[in-house]
Structure 1
Amino acid sequence: MPEFDRRTVAGAAVLGAVVAASLLSSPATAIDAAERAAADPLLFGVLLLGLYLVRPFLAWPTTLVAIVAGYGYGVAVGVPVALAGAVLTSMPPFLGVRWMAGGEGFWGRLGDAGDRFFGSTGHVRGVTAARLLPIPADAVTCTAAASGVSLPAFAVGTVFGELPWTVAAVLLGSSAESIAARGLGEVGLPLVAACLVAAAVLLAGPAYQYFGRPGVPS
């Protein structure tokens, strides 16, 4: 079997496994364990690390784990811990897709589309803007990995783009009497609106340069 075929089959198998795991699993048990361990900072840290490591394989939202971090560590410690966790939890899908990308199949087409976007915006700006948009974090990760985005640029863009979502989630977790696996709750709509505006500001300049070039259809 050609190398590209093997990678395509491996990618399809991993994607199918993640979809199956997300449908069959629930974060409730892990969250309950983290809540019980909150009084022990070391044990809580180990459980939180485990949540960040397994999250991409179960397709859980990153904000959920950030809420857990806020519940156990509060705002001052929870925000930097959750930002570091956002970068850490994106590494397995980024490196996996980077290995599978290339050729003419799905990953190749995704990489071509990503190249056009990140080529216009710049890597850090593009990842930051994509992270600000209310779309699944792993979709951004896979697109960046399939494109030519470098690992350092991806990590920096992830920190910048995840910052408002992380701060909101940590604040929600730190003020909760118990961990609630319900997303960002009542702060969701204002936060989404603010992030959309920020993403639009970041993309306005590259969009103007791209569509304003001679020969580019408007």
Structure 2
Amino acid sequence: MRADLTPRSLVGGALLVLVVVASLLTSPDAVLVHVEGLAADPLWFGLALVALYSLRPLVAWPTTLVAVVVGYGYGVALGVPIGLAGAVFTSMPPFFAAKWVDDGGSLPVLDQLSAVGRFRSSAERYFDTAGGFRGVTAARLAPIPADAVTCTASVSGVSLRTFVAGTLVGELPWTVAAVVVGSSANTLTTHGLGALGLPLAVAMVVSATVLLAGPAYETFAHSSE
């Protein structure tokens, strides 16, 4: 492990700062007002969705917010597959960016001297124990920021195919709920899942816990031998 900060590490740090600044300066409400005005035109609305999914990682908005927009414009039947495809598509930039930065040596000084290294080691143990597909699926089910899951899986060595499969399964209930909410909305807002959010989050946490129960038990059993 090198003890210097590589150019890729510096670029990664700059990207992180850019995301933080962009998320603070960008108003979802203002963007949604303009997108709502395009709902009557399928072509322009579709282009707006592509732009939203492309730029979403830059402003760190939740994927469910864009899925609500999908439901508003396309309804449930078309909205669910489009929302799932969008969830995968919007994960690609942070997935490959994290892998690119990590391949160049990701902040080794911080890895050694701070909680960053401990977090990374814990993340790698998590995916080693749970497995790539189960680990990504459970993390997607849990109410954890999407890009945190994406970057963690990427630097932990989860393959692209496994990551995509786990994202599709884990995002399915969130996407269905968000699309249904959007399809029944009279106007686009940033309230997202609204009253449905807390019960759904609790159910998804329980589901993720059940999914991880087997690997957790095996790990505990082996450690106690």
The two structures share one fold, judged by TM-score above 0.5: yes
- The answer to whether residue 88 in structure 2 is matched with residue 87 in structure 1 is yes
Conserved 8 A contact 1:18-1:57:
yes
Q: Which residue of 2 aligns with 1:115?
A: 124
TM-score (structure 1 length as normaliser): 0.93
Q: Which residue of 2 aligns with 1:135?
A: 144
In structure 1, C-alpha distance between the alignment counterparts of 2:37 and 2:190, rounded to whole Å: 15
Q: Which residue of 1 aligns with 2:15?
A: 14
Report sequence identity in percent. 56
3-state SS of paired residue (1:37): coil
What amino acid maps onto 2:99 in structure 1? R
In structure 1, C-alpha distance between the alignment counterparts of 2:110 and 2:141, rounded to whole Å: 25
Q: Which residue of 2 aligns with 1:66?
A: 67
| Mapping for residues 19-58 of structure 1, pairs under 5 Å | 19-58=20-59
Q: Which has the higher contact order (CA 8 A, sep 6+)?
A: 2
Following TM superposition, where does structure 1 have runs of at least 4 consecutive aligned residues deviating by more than 6 angstroms?
none
Q: Which is further off, 151-160 or 96-105?
A: 96-105
Q: Which residue of 2 aligns with 1:159?
A: 168
CA deviation map 1:110-168 (0-9, x unaligned): 54332211110110100000011111111101100111100010011111111111111
Q: Which residue of 2 aligns with 1:194?
A: 203
3-state SS of paired residue (1:87): helix
Conserved 8 A contact 2:65-2:192:
yes
In structure 1, C-alpha distance between the alignment counterparts of 2:109 and 2:157, rounded to whole Å: 16
Residue 3 of structure 1, CA deviation: 8.1
In structure 1, C-alpha distance between the alignment counterparts of 2:110 and 2:64, rounded to whole Å: 28
TM-score (structure 2 length as normaliser): 0.90
Q: Which is further off, 72-81 or 2-11?
A: 2-11
CA deviation map 1:57-93 (0-9, x unaligned): 0111111100000000000000110110000001111
In structure 2, C-alpha distance between the alignment counterparts of 1:130 and 1:87, rounded to whole Å: 14
3-state SS of paired residue (1:212): helix
In structure 1, C-alpha distance between the alignment counterparts of 2:78 and 2:148, rounded to whole Å: 28
Structure 1: tracts of 5 or more residues without a match: none
Aligned pair partner of 2:212 in 191, 203, 207: 203
Change (3 A) 1:105 1:121: farther
Conserved 8 A contact 1:30-1:51:
no
Residue 29 of structure 1, CA deviation: 2.7
Residue 28 of structure 1, CA deviation: 2.2
Change (3 A) 1:25 1:214: closer
In structure 1, C-alpha distance between the alignment counterparts of 2:109 and 2:208, rounded to whole Å: 30
What amino acid maps onto 1:41 in structure 2? P
